[in-house]
Amino acid sequence: MHMANLDGLRLHYRIDGPKDGTPVVFANSLGTDFRLWDQILPLLPQGLRILRFDKRGHGLSDCPKGPYSMGQLISDTEKLMDHTGFKDAIFVGLSIGGMIAQGLATKRLDLVRAVVLSNTGAKIGTREMWAERIDAVNAGGLAAVVDPTMQRWFSAPFHKTDQFHAWRNMFLNCPAEGWTGCGAAIAGTDFYSTTASLRLPALGIAGTEDGSTPPDLVRETTDLIPGSDTKVIRGAGHLPCVEKPEEYAAILTEFLKAQGV
Ligand SMILES: O=C(O)CC1=CCC(=O)O1
């Protein structure tokens, strides 16, 4: 187990793959830890150097008092990549992780050579929507929002599986302050103009059943970057790497290969 001490904030991370492999960084969504990527990693090409991490307030990382800003989440990621020697990486971000990808590529193009914007947007929801959810969590913990969240995360058939309960439990075990802290960061983020200035290879990935970031939002965001493409996975909700790992890994592999992996 690895913890990076980044100016006093300890982040839990894991590196897999050979030292000379193509660097790939995975940033996960609100209310999940880096196990989000467990199912797809064995399906990707061999020889990648993979960095995964739990952002602040999530998983085994520290949970400082919120609210957090998107700038802090981007800076944490930047520091972690500097700490671990990851640069010129293909950055795969899902949901809030995709917002971090957009912000990091804008700020530190030396760290990011290509982005995968999975189930994300340049802006996700409205300030009012996030304020309502944060109020609900402050009053009743994550249990107060778990059911509608699971509706957005997963398609109806997945709710009947045993695996569904593992993801529901992961969500319920997320520190409430970590969730509200990151929710506030999303509420304050609008990357439409900065993402439109990005010039790098970009792929969008969406799920037809995604109740958080529907395909139109993912496409609209990815289309801001000239030359990008968006793939839509049928029958998957907000976390297609969990619901449809084979399809997700195949789409990612095609993009990685196009980047020379
Ligand atoms: O709770 C949701 O709707 C899912 C979500 C939104 C942003 C994120 O990272 O996850």
Q: What are the structural domains, with CATH classification, of the chain?
A: 2-258 (3.40.50.1820)
> How high does pLDDT run on average in the chain?
98
Ligand 1 atom closest to residue 99's alpha carbon, by position in its atom list: 9
pLDDT digits (tens, 9 = 90+) for 95-116: 999 999 999 999 999 999 999 9
Taking CA atoms only, the protein residue closest to ligand 1 atom 5 is: 30
Taking CA atoms only, the protein residue closest to ligand 1 atom 1 is: 149
pLDDT digits (tens, 9 = 90+) for 216-255: 999 999 999 999 999 999 999 999 999 999 999 999 999 9
Q: Side chain identity at 210, as an amino acid letter?
A: D
pLDDT digits (tens, 9 = 90+) for 109-136: 999 999 999 999 999 999 999 999 999 9
240 CA to centre of ligand 1 in angstroms = 13
pLDDT score, position 188: 95
34 CA to centre of ligand 1 in angstroms = 15
As for ligand 1, residues whose beta carbon falls within 6 Å of it are: 29-30, 95-96, 124, 149, 152, 186, 212, 238
Give the H or E element holding residue 117: strand 112-118
9 CA to centre of ligand 1 in angstroms = 23
pLDDT digits (tens, 9 = 90+) for 174-220: 999 999 999 999 999 999 999 999 999 999 999 999 999 999 999 99
CA dihedral 235, 240, 242, 243 (to 10 degrees): 0
